[in-house]
Structure 1
Amino acid sequence: MNQPEVAQSLSLDGSIGEGGGQVLRTALSLSLCLQRPFHIDNIRIGRDRPGLQPQHLAAVRAAAAISDAEVEGAGPGSTSLSFAPGPVRAGVYRFDIGTAGSTGLLLQTLLPALMLGEDESTLTLDGGTHNPRAPTFEYLNQAFLPMINRMGPQVQAELIRPGFHPEGGGRIRVHIRPAVHLWPLQIPRRGKVLTLDAQALVAKLPLEIAERELAVIQAGLAVHAGGLQAHRTEDCISTGNAVWVSVYSEHITEVFSALGEKGVPAEEVAQGLVDAVRAYLDEDVPVGPWLADQLLLPMALAGQGGFRTIQPGSHTRTQIEVIAAFTGRRFQVRTADHGHVFITLE
Structure 2
Amino acid sequence: MGSTEVTFFPGDRRGGGEFSADTQTAGSVGLLIQVALPCALFSTTTTILQLRGGTNAEMAPQFDYTTEVFRPLLERFGATFDYKLLRRGYFPRGGGEVHIRVNPVRQLKPIKMIDGGKILRIWGWAFVAGTLPIKLASVMADSATVALQRAFKGVEINIEAYKEREEDAVGNGSGINIVAETTTGCILGASGLGKRDVRPEQVGKQAADDLISTVETGACVDPHAQDQMVVLMALADGISQVKVGPVTQHTETAIYIAKSLSEAKFNIIKQGPNSNIIECTGIGLLNPV
Percent identity over paired residues = 26
Question: Which stretches in structure 1 are left out of the alignment for 5+ residues?
Answer: 1-13, 16-40, 44-79
Q: Go from structure 1 to structure 2 and tell me whether the alpha carbon gap of 1:281 and 1:119 turns closer, same or farther (over 3 Å shift).
A: same
Quote the residue 1:107 is aligned against.
33
Moved more, 289-298 or 85-94: 85-94
Cα drift, residue 238 of structure 1: 2.0
Aligned residues of 2:218 and 2:245 also touching (Cα < 8 A): no
**Aligned match for 1:248, one of 175, 181, 191:** 181
Cα drift, residue 215 of structure 1: 1.1
Quote the residue 2:98 is aligned against.
172
Paired residue secondary structure (2:250): helix
Aligned residues of 1:88 and 1:114 also touching (Cα < 8 A): no
Aligned amino acid, residue 194 of structure 2: G
Q: Go from structure 1 to structure 2 and tell me whether the alpha carbon gap of 1:333 and 1:191 turns closer, same or farther (over 3 Å shift).
A: same
Quote the residue 2:144 is aligned against.
217
Rounded to whole Å, the distance in 1 between the matches of 2:126 and 2:17 is 34
Quote the residue 1:344 is aligned against.
279
Aligned residues of 2:129 and 2:171 also touching (Cα < 8 A): yes
Quote the residue 1:277 is aligned against.
211
Q: Go from structure 1 to structure 2 and tell me whether the alpha carbon gap of 1:336 and 1:86 turns closer, same or farther (over 3 Å shift).
A: same
Cα drift, residue 86 of structure 1: 4.1
Q: Tell me, yes or no, if structure 1 residue 263 matches structure 2 residue 197.
A: yes
Quote the residue 1:207 is aligned against.
134
Deviations 1:5-40 (A, max 9, x none): xxxxxxxxx99xxxxxxxxxxxxxxxxxxxxxxxxx
Q: Tell me, yes or no, if structure 1 residue 42 matches structure 2 residue 4.
A: yes
Rounded to whole Å, the distance in 2 between the matches of 1:268 and 1:253 is 24
Aligned residue pair count? 272
Cα drift, residue 183 of structure 1: 0.6
Quote the residue 1:227 is aligned against.
158
Cα drift, residue 158 of structure 1: 2.9
Cα drift, residue 185 of structure 1: 1.3
**Aligned match for 2:76, one of 150, 155, 164:** 150
Rounded to whole Å, the distance in 1 between the matches of 2:10 and 2:104 is 23
Moved more, 182-191 or 150-159: 150-159
Aligned amino acid, residue 286 of structure 1: C
Q: Which has the higher contact order (CA 8 A, sep 6+)?
A: 2
Q: TM-score, normalised by structure 1?
A: 0.74
**Aligned match for 1:298, one of 232, 257, 261:** 232
